[in-house]
Amino acid sequence: MNIVLYGSEELLLKQRLEKFKKQYKINDQDMNLSIYYPDETSMDVILQDAITPPFLTEYKMVILRKPTFLTTEKQKNVSDEDIAAFNDYIAHDNPTTIFIIYHNGEKFDERKKVMKNLRKHAQFIELNQVDEHTIYKTVRQAIIHRQAVIDDDALDLLLERTRGSLNEASNQVEKLCLYSKHITLHDVERLVAPPLEENVFALTNAIMAHDLVRVSSIYRDLMITNHEPIALIGLIASSIRQLYQVKLLDRKGYTDKEIVKIIGINPRALFPVRKNARSFQLDELERKLYELSELDINIKTGKIDKQRGLELFLMQI
């Protein structure tokens, strides 16, 4: 059996792979499980393993990871002869070998003959972005799988700080589960750093609220982590523009689903943006956007230094 397991969400790919292992009674210490990287192991060795019968069980599993030769790139150590042999195996696969091509990188090159052959002779399973409910469920299951539990408020903050990305959440889950078998809000606050966007969102709110003390504190933290002033100006402008768009679309009666689609905001971020937008007037937001536009022009034309320009903008709130 040939299976192509691919997509952008590493955690979902891992979980689906575990399901296949369970379905075919394969465990990680099993002699009947092999994992290969074409850059490191010759195609001859990989295919020889695939055609070899399983040892004392009904099935064996061969996993091929990072198959760059299926994309637009040329893979080191994979010749045209190797690809011909691969094509021949795919068309006449060993029924007792679960041959899994595991790929979470660049898109496949569908123009290649090898891909057309795979489409004919393999089951393709694509796992990409999912809805919020599935993200919650998947991350919680990943934590339970590691014999740990997480409080609801801790899970909320984890997903907020990883911006609803299963890949990022998966990386943090490993660290959190090593730290504690009962993950609390305090654990997430301590171990999972807030993304830059979260700090910029807080900075934007402080700017619009004319809270100079808060602005100075957040700006100082951002400078300690060496963030580029030009990038910060762009992110502040983007954050204010988001407040403006949400407030305007709310006023016009658009639904949450329509707003998410129009401005491309993460559904999880809509509630806090809307909540903060209620505190400001449209003309205030427009004025700040104009000031940032002028600042951007002045920096690009050399009229003012980028860091000094940003600091003056922040101090004149």
Read off the pLDDT band of 92 (50, 70, 90). Answer: very high
CA dist 236 and 309 (Å) reads 14
pLDDT for position 109: 94
Read off the pLDDT band of 69 (50, 70, 90). Answer: very high
Read off the pLDDT band of 67 (50, 70, 90). Answer: very high
Please indicate, yes or no, whether residues 228 and 185 belong to a single structural domain of this protein. Answer: no
Rounded to an integer, the average pLDDT of 207-225 is: 89
CA dist 283 and 281 (Å) reads 5
Please indicate, yes or no, whether residues 51 and 148 belong to a single structural domain of this protein. Answer: no
Rounded to an integer, the average pLDDT of 75-86 is: 91
Greater pLDDT, 73 or 312: 312
Give the CATH number, domain containing residue 237: 1.20.272.10
Read off the pLDDT band of 74 (50, 70, 90). Answer: confident
Please say which residue of 86, 102, 126 terminates a domain: 126
Please say which residue of 101, 126, 151 terminates a domain: 126
186 has pLDDT over 90: yes
Structure-derived torsion over alpha carbons of residues 228, 232, 234, 240, reported in degrees to the nearest 10: 180
Please indicate, yes or no, whether residues 26 and 115 belong to a single structural domain of this protein. Answer: yes
pLDDT for position 251: 93
49 has pLDDT over 80: yes
Q: How many domains does the chain have?
A: 3
Give the CATH number, domain containing residue 82: 3.40.50.300
182 has pLDDT over 90: yes
Token pair in block for residue 100: 């899994």
The least confident of 91-105, 211-225, 232-246 is 211-225
Please indicate, yes or no, whether residues 206 and 302 belong to a single structural domain of this protein. Answer: yes
Rounded to an integer, the average pLDDT of 258-277 is: 84
Please indicate, yes or no, whether residues 149 and 207 belong to a single structural domain of this protein. Answer: no
Q: What is the mean pLDDT of the chain?
A: 91
- Total-model pTM: 0.55
**Phi and psi angles of residue 305, each rounded to the nearest 5 degrees, phi first:** -65, 140
3-state secondary structure the chain: CEEEEECCCHHHHHHHHHHHHHHCCCCCCCCCEEEECCCCCCHHHHHHHHHCCCCCCCCEEEEEECCHHHCCCCCCCCCHHHHHHHHHHHHCCCCCEEEEEEECCCCCCCCCHHHHHHHHHCEEEECCCCCHHHHHHHHHHHHHHCCCEECHHHHHHHHHHCCCCHHHHHHHHHHHHHHCCEECHHHHHHHCCCCHHHHHHHHHHHHHCCCHHHHHHHHHHHHHCCCCHHHHHHHHHHHHHHHHHHHHHHHCCCCHHHHHHHHCCCHHHHHHHHHHHCCCCHHHHHHHHHHHHHHHHHHHCCCCCHHHHHHHHHHCC
Please indicate, yes or no, whether residues 42 and 102 belong to a single structural domain of this protein. Answer: yes
268 has pLDDT over 80: no
Rounded to an integer, the average pLDDT of 17-24 is: 94
pLDDT for position 129: 66
Please indicate, yes or no, whether residues 6 and 115 belong to a single structural domain of this protein. Answer: yes
pLDDT over 70, % of the chain: 99
Please indicate, yes or no, whether residues 10 and 98 belong to a single structural domain of this protein. Answer: yes
Read off the pLDDT band of 179 (50, 70, 90). Answer: very high
pLDDT for position 91: 96
CA dist 192 and 189 (Å) reads 6
Please indicate, yes or no, whether residues 231 and 207 belong to a single structural domain of this protein. Answer: yes
Q: Provide the domain limits for residue 177.
A: 132-191
